[in-house]
Structure 1
């Protein structure tokens, strides 16, 4: 008696946009970071704030 043949399952690639990204654990805010945000040297995203100081100079040689 012939053995029944089952069709192979459909295989397809998963696109990166379809992947589920796990939510990371929350990060505790340090007192230093909170102070930098309050002073305006950092934003809540960690980017430089409006009071961020960068040394700048121009030389004439």
Structure 2
């Protein structure tokens, strides 16, 4: 029996989320820590950072 893929709910980034992401970028916080704090996947955070034109992670 085939398993059905679980649908994920789309959670939009609020202004506060973007401010937090920029602050972590400036502080060079490791991506793993940011993902835990914001309860988002690392891929999601990387995509948003790329769209905003900022770098993420401590090693960039």
Q: Which has the higher contact order (CA 8 A, sep 6+)?
A: 2
Answer whether TM exceeds 0.5 for this pair.
no
| TM-score, structure 1 as length reference | 0.34
TM-score (norm: length of structure 2): 0.34
